[in-house]
A and B are shown apart, each in its own frame.
Chain A
Amino acid sequence: MSMILAVAKNRVMNLKRDRAAFTLAFILPVAFFTIFAAIFSGAGKAATRKIPLIVVDEDGSDASRQFVAGLKAEAGLSVGLKPGEENDPNGPLYTAAQAEQAVKKGEAPVALIVPKGFGAHPLAFGPGSERSTVRVLADSSDPIAPQVVNGLVQKVAMTSMPAALARSGMSELEKWSGGLTPEQRARMEEAIGAIDRARDGAAAASGAGRANAGLVAVETRDVVGGKKKNPTVTFYAAGLGVMFLLFSATGAGGALIEEAESGTLDRILSTRVSMTRLLLGKLLYLGGVGVVQLCLMFVWGALFFGLELWNHLPGFFVMTIATAAVSSAFGLMLASVCRSRMQLVALSNLSILLMSALGGSLFPRFLMSEKLQKIGLITLNAWALDGFQKIFWRDEPVWAIWPQVAVLVGLGLLFFFVARRVAERWEAT
């Protein structure tokens, strides 16, 4: 037992000597808990997700305006009516075509088209009733948003259009009861008018009604990804691929620390190899390994999980090379900054898991709150995944990924520059 304790104590002594590793070993779990709690448990406003919804009101009737206003009042939705600045009073409204295009581009996961004639027959009870059909255009990469929107459409119909609801009820009553007398009809109209006046006077109707599917007819159409064989595979291939690329790049970058510790780095730098050449050589190797890793992962996905690789090859290669380059530069930067393997392991675990969580490798970013989605953009994962999604999910052409590629290349250059500067400590003193 005393020997076992001695071994344990020896490890504690080692850890205490490496202060950075010591600190990270204890910061790591707390940091992760905080990040994951924010993302998954919805703690705090930052994590509350509002679903971006584009609404096109083709009808322009009182009823449709009430309906749209009801949707805007919903806390769970972030309604956009204009492709430009939302608060610009003269800004043009979305057309149905523009809304569809916006969903295809990933600007919003859902668009809702209120068709002409909606005001005349907004609601109906039961099948066969005369009513307008609201169209929902969905991006099937987000399976939750269209369902939430569908539910909220029913709720808003009940709470924001009480007069329309009553009229529909009256017409159903007439239809099934054999007709109302003029006097009964007059009284009903008077009551409906009172409902309208009360609604106008009230600040906002509070939604207490149960969402009644079928009150508003909704037709949902997947405008993106509907024909994909296996939609989630793209997400996981890119997400996990980028995360493991980062892990393997930092692990392999650690060779630099081993070379420094063994004296091999000293020997190398006394030859004709300069530090810049050494780092560029390592970058080339790490990048090459990264490209092979991603190729393997996607080919595997194509062969066994229906990932549509073969018709997206150009975009795949551009994204793969950019992602492998930036991941390699990141690995080199971490290895240059760290003084020991222990530090590198701790720092890489912390930074990569953090970036993967925020950047969408572990949990899709579109399911996070807008604020977290914006924060996620500081990670290279987010940009890499966005690029892969554009190619594989939205079938966008290669040129469309230039913002993602530009950011990744820029980050790669920045990481390499930092690595080179920090590596000066190994040069002749």
Chain B
Amino acid sequence: MPAEALPLEIRDVSKSFADRRALDGVSLEMRPGEILGLLGPNGAGKTTLVRSVASRVVPDSGTVRILGFDAADPRARAVRGWVPQEIALYPLLSPKENLWTFGRYQGLSGGALDRGIAASLDWIGLADRADDKTDKLSGGMKRRLNIAAGTIHDPRVLLLDEPTVGVDPQSRERIYAMIGELKGRGVSLLYTTHYMEEAERLCDRIAIIDHGKIIASGTKEDLVRKTVGTRQAVAVDAAAPIPAALWDRLAGLGAQRDGQQVRLSVEDPAAEIRRLLDLFHSAGVPVRDLTLKAPTLEQVFLQLTGRELRE
């Protein structure tokens, strides 16, 4: 393995299908042990990029290297795991048989395979359902098995394509815990999702792709600072009509009014909220509700792409 090779290094990758340019000079790096989130609206090139890393798409130009090896190289296949968005399992086989199949396809055999199957079943909590038919499992169980089938060979780099689609909140939490364990084992993960809160919670860094190009990347804080800034939104709901005198003073602070609600963007919430509440108190207007909201990734995404993530 090349010394100090990055888990994933994508350099200037372009790919067209017929007259549609799916990837347009994409460059991206993943650092060891990090979870790199890949966000983008539908049709932005996310799937093509992930499939390029999984060596299921051959780029027209550019390189995709996994720990220094070309993505299609057998050595890259050995250290890479892929958990596709679909439940890509054999429904009539048991979890144990599915794990045996994908373990063998990844080159495991004998004791290593047996240990891999046993450890995977324990890890996904399906040891007691090991011999049931997979199509009899719940959606969450299938999702966990889908992940285990892509990780049974202990990959160093894992591609997770929307691993929580269609699962209930409880199962989702369990999958988050599994992802945390993978990270704890030192696995580097490329994670695509439609759930913004998932990206915020799990990912160390986030790359946003649109129209086949990476338009921003960095930590959530970086992205927020670079796009929507660090100001936070305050909303105050008055319990009575706001007198004109009070409103004049609020407007002076840059507030906007919507009926009995006042909204304001603040740089220093502790100082500015105190001033705001003092004004309401002085005017004798009771406050019914107050919210403070930090800038979100959703706002970043909206700002950069002009679209909601789930559009």
Contact = CB atoms under 8 A, between A and B. Distances in A.
A428 B86 contact: no
Given A266-B56, A267-B82, A428-B55, A272 B105 contact: yes
Contacts, number: 51
B90 interface: yes
B88 A262 contact: yes
Interface string B69-80: 000101001101
Interface string A259-273: 000111011111111
Interface string B17-47: 1000000000000000000000000000000
A184 interface: no
A271 B106 contact: yes
Contact of B105 (A263, A268, A428): A268
B149 interface: yes
A264 B58 contact: no
Contacts of A271: 77, 102, 105-106
B13 to A, nearest CB: 14
A90 interface: no
Given A271-B77, A272-B74, A428-B58, A266 B84 contact: yes
A105 to B, nearest CB: 49
B150 interface: yes
A429 interface: yes
B86 A270 contact: no
A252 B83 CA distance: 26
A275 B55 CA distance: 13
Given A269-B56, A270-B54, A428-B57, A264 B88 contact: yes
Interface residues of A, number: 13
A270 B58 contact: no
Given A271-B106, A428-B57, A429-B58, A262 B78 contact: no
A267 B77 contact: no
B107 interface: yes
A267 B101 CA distance: 12
B238 to A, nearest CB: 54
B83 to A, nearest CB: 9
B89 interface: yes
B90 A272 contact: no
B102 A270 contact: no
Nearest to B90: A264
A273 B88 contact: no
30 contacts: A262-B86, A262-B88, A262-B89, A263-B84, A263-B85, A263-B87, A264-B89, A266-B56, A266-B84, A266-B88, A267-B84, A267-B88, A267-B102, A267-B149, A267-B150, A269-B56, A270-B54, A270-B56, A270-B77, A271-B102, A271-B105, A271-B106, A272-B78, A272-B105, A428-B55, A428-B58, A428-B72, A429-B17, A429-B57, A429-B58
Nearest 8 pairs of A and B residues by beta carbon: A263-B86, A271-B105, A263-B88, A267-B88, A264-B88, A270-B54, A273-B105, A270-B82
Interface of A: 262-264, 266-273, 428-429
Given A263-B88, A267-B102, 18 more contacts: A262-B86, A263-B85, A263-B87, A264-B90, A266-B51, A266-B88, A267-B88, A267-B149, A267-B150, A270-B54, A270-B55, A270-B56, A272-B74, A272-B77, A272-B106, A428-B58, A429-B17, A429-B56
